Each structure stands twice: as structure tokens, then as C-alpha cells.
Amino acid sequence: MHLSADHLEVQLDAGTFAAAVTGSGTYGLGPLEVTLTEGRWPTFGWTVANRGDTPVAVQSVALVFDVVDYTGALRMFRHGYQSWSPSGIATFDVDVDPSTVARFPFVQAVHHADQATVTLADELRSEWFTVLAHDGPGALLAGFDGGGWHDGTFRLRWAGDDSEVELWAEAFLGDAVLAPGARRELHGVVVDDRADVPASELLASWVTPVGHELGARVDAPFQLGWCSWYQYFHDVTEHDIRENLGRASQFGFEVFQVDDGFQSAIGDWLTTNAKFPAGLDDLASSIESAGFQPGLWLAPFLAAPDSHVATEHPDWLATHVDGNGDRRPLYAWWNEPWGGGHDGFMYALDTSHPEVQEHLASLAAQLVEIGFTYLKLDFTFAPSVDGVWADASLTPAERVRSGFDAIRRGAGTDAFLLGCGVPLSHVVGVVDANRISQDVAPLWDLDGRDPIVAGYRDIEPATRHAYANTLARSFMHRKLWLNDPDCLMLRTERTGLSADAAHTWARAIGLSGGLALVSDDLSLLDDAARDVLAATVELGRASDNEARKGVSPVVPDLLDASVPTTITASGHTLVTDVATGTSTFT
């Protein structure tokens, strides 16, 4: 199986333009020209330029390939857009894109670069990279060599006459405006179709140079810590934090992180609510005095409608044009417990606005000065949502990256930044760690319940979902960042997770080599739970040491099972019954 470049296609407000590809050269496509070059790495380099005398809003530029010489069923590894977006194998002409079921752009904006519902019923898509497999020998990888300039989406679809299958490598610019005479370099497209090379080797051959070229921050030590979220959620109090802080020294933690629930409002991160009367300064000092690195959660690109940042700086908000043609603040997410005056709907800060960038840098600097040198940055997909932004020349990817760059600038190079809910391709080189899975939960699976949003069941919190993404993305650890597979589930009270499933999840975390974070009320953890934690940390440090040497975990059935069953690392193998969460470990 291999790819044959067929044509280029650009999608603009003015319409769609195409040109057949005959090799390296410059191609005219309406008001644009695309220059294509073939090489060794990346396989294809390209630029797009506006050759006209008026600005052009560019939605996408695509290099379209024919998929040649495949046998039987064609399968696509669909890589998810952001931390919580599912990743796994799908069968072409059998499975569907979830947007065709949901038809709900508000949620689709969170899980795809292009939030519009796909127009072709047969289309499958993957973000940043994909692997194609078939019934014959060998597989094929296609990926972009970066993601900070724009998104990269792969679309697998029938050609117009349904005679051939095409793979579209789409540089998604999200209607970024290209000025007259301006030229924009696009991320290169890598194609690796070596026969009889396992998926793990294809992925390693792609991810290693990508991380190197983008300056991936991969040198932070193995992280062992505590987080308040999965026991207390939004209801956490200062008393809860201090009670657990008093017990934390018994567990060997290095990081102690306060999660969502301390803030006076989403967007007002320096002031606490009534449940935290001592304030952030005292809290950070107490954590540091107890011997831990203080950590704090924030959703830096969101603002509650009644927050000070939103009411005092309305010009800092991204907007959209409503059905009446009026400009309104842009809603980027909804979380009812946050309140905020609009029943939990949150505004997006305009990260393309220079004043917002300075605000974010100042915020990060103040939090680090207070003592919070470990910052968990959540819901950071917000700047990628379709809307009206101060700088129309920026792509959605650049808006996300601008926000992260501002926070890094303010926090300094020594602070530990953990991305969460983040479009993964946008932040290589700026974060130290990334959540690579959906939220865990005190249960293994959702037991057949109806999804909250049709088509998007696998985005919902469940340990099985986190397990699936942790295996699928395990190869990224110490190549692009430190992987954060989300928290262990150790408690045996107030949980619906069986002991077997909890052990399976702990071993999956350990074999992945990623962060080991506990999120239980520490008073609920008995000697057996401590033994599980100790075994996980021992396994995790061994796997992490292997990753430091360039040896990633191997998931042999990544391209065969809808949820992988097997992960091998540091001389151990975990085989899981994904229906129940039980497993064997050798």
C-alpha cells in the first residue's frame, strides 16, 4: 500500500480551486499559489501565497493522495484533536465521523480542528497524523511535521466518482486572512510507507524528529503527586486541602496540586472564594513548607460572564456574529457548576489580542511569584473555536499557541506547565507535560448508557476511555513532552471501580511511564492501596527510564482492536479484557 500525490485543493470564502499535481513546482489555485517541493524529510514541503491585490480568507489547503494497492478492508487510525478526544482504529466505509451523528458544532469545535459537520457520509478523519492498515502486509503513516502554525487534518474518503480512495492532507487555517502578496509556510507532510514495518516503528520514526525539530521539553523529572479533583471536584475546600496535605508526606509525593474549586470566578485566578479564606499566598506557602512543589489548576483562556476580567475588559473577549448580525461575546465552553451568570456558559478570551497576551503573562508571573511553580492549564482548546478575533491573520492553532507562549513567558523557563484539554499539535516545545487521555472516573465503563452527545460517547469520563487513549498515545512520552495519563484510582470506598480494574489502570499508567498522580482522599487509602501506588511508581520509573533512552512502550494491536488490549514496556506486558477491566500482568 502506498500514496500517490494527485492534486492540490484550496477552500476559500470565494469557492474551491484545484490543480493536478505533476511534481515539484508552483500551482495557481484561484487567487492563491501553492509551491510544492518533494524531499526526504518532510516528504512534501509547501507554501501558500496570495498573488492577488485583496486579502483572502483561507480555510484550508489540501494535498490529495490516491491510496494505491491496498487489500480488503482499509482501516484508519484516527488520532484525536485534543487531550480528551478519542484515538483509535476505524474501518473505512463502515464507521462514520461522529459529527455526522451529532451535528452539534459547539461540541465538534472541542474535538476537531474543523468544527463543521463533515459533508461526505463515508469520510473518516484524523488530526496531526494517521496510520492506514489493510488486510495485506504493512501499514502506512502520514503526518505533519508540526502543528504550531496551523492544524493538520487527514481525511479518508472516496474520490468524486467512488472509484478510488483518497487521503487528504489538509492544512487547516480556519479562515485566517492572507494579505495581498503575503506568503505562508505550511507544515510539511511526511509519508512513510515502508513495507513490513510495525506501527510502533512508523510512529517512532515520525515522532522523534518532530519533537527534536520543535524543541520538545522532555527533560523534567518523573512526576509523582496528588491532585484534589477526583475526590472533591468543584466542592473542594481549604479544609480538604489541608487535611490531605497533613497526610501527604506518607506517600512520597513531590507535587501537591489544588484543582478546580478554589477560584472566585473562572477568569479571576488570583482571588479565592469563601471556601478558601486564607487565600493563595498562604496556601502555596503551606504546601511548600510541607516539602512539596505547589501546583494550581486554571482555565486561562476562559472567563465567566460575571468575572472581573470579563466585565472590566469586554474588549478582551472573542466575539461572534449572531443571527441578527450583532456581535456577541463568544461562548467557548459550558460547565453548569461554574455558574458565571449565564448558567455555566463561558466566554473565550481573545488570545490574539496583545493586551490579553500581556494579561496572561502577568497572571503566570504572579502565580509563580506566589509559589505555584506547577501550573495545570485546562480547557485550552478555547482559542481554536470559530469566531471573530482581534488578529484575523492568525490561524486557530496560532491563537492557542499565542496564549501558551504568553503563559510560558510570564512563568519562566523553570516552571512546570501541564497542558490539558489542549489541541496536542499546538504546544510542542512550550509545555512540559500534556494530558493525553479523557478524564478517568470511579468506574470502568459507562455500561451502555446513552451518550450525552450522540456520536461522542467516548469523550465522557470513564477509566476505560482513559486507558484506550493512554495506550494509543504512549509513544509520545519523552518525545513530545511527559505524558499525563490522568490520575490513579486507588480508593476502595465511594467508587464503582472494581479492585481488578483499578489494578489494571494502575499498571497501564506504570507501563506508559507517564505522570503518576493520586486524586483520592488520602484518609481512604489503606495499606493495599499504598502497595498499588508503590508498585505503579516502581514500574513507572522503569518505563520512564526506558523512554529517556528512546525506547517507547509497544502496543501490538493498535491497528487491530477498537480499544487496544496489550501494552509492553520495561520487560513487562499487560493484557486487558477491555469489557471488564480485568487483566493479566507478566
What are the residue numbers of the active site? 378, 439
Query: Which residues contact residue 103 at a Cβ distance below 8 angstroms, ignoring those fewer than 6 apart?
Result: 117
Query: Which residues contact residue 156 at a Cβ distance below 8 angstroms, ignoring those fewer than 6 apart?
Result: 67, 74, 76, 92, 123, 124, 125, 126, 130, 132, 165, 166, 167, 168
Distance CA(576)–CA(88), nearest Å, equals 16
Would you put residue 267 in left (φ > 0), alpha (ψ -120 to 50) or beta?
Answer: left
Smallest CA-to-CA distance from 434 within 383, 397, 381, 395 is with 381
Residue ranges with strand state E in 430-512: 433-435, 482-484
State the greatest distance between any 2 C-alpha atoms of the chain, in Å, as a whole number: 72
Distance CA(487)–CA(425), nearest Å, equals 23
Query: Which residues contact residue 401 at a Cβ distance below 8 angstroms, ignoring those fewer than 6 apart?
Result: 148, 426, 427, 430
**How many other β-carbons are positioned within 10 Å of the β-carbon of residue 4?**
11
Query: Which residues contact residue 247 at a Cβ distance below 8 angstroms, ignoring those fewer than 6 apart?
Result: 522, 523
Smallest CA-to-CA distance from 467 within 305, 327, 349, 577 is with 577
Phi and psi of 404, rounded to 5°?
A: -65, -40
**How many other β-carbons are positioned within 10 Å of the β-carbon of residue 233?**
12
Distance CA(137)–CA(195), nearest Å, equals 7
Q: What cell does 224 get?
A: 509523582
Q: Give DSSP secondary structure letters for 267-323.
A: TEEEEE-TT-TTHHHHHHHHHHHTTSEEEEEE-TTEE-TTSHHHHH-GGGB-EEE-T
Q: Which helix (H) or strand (E) holds 402?
A: helix 396-411
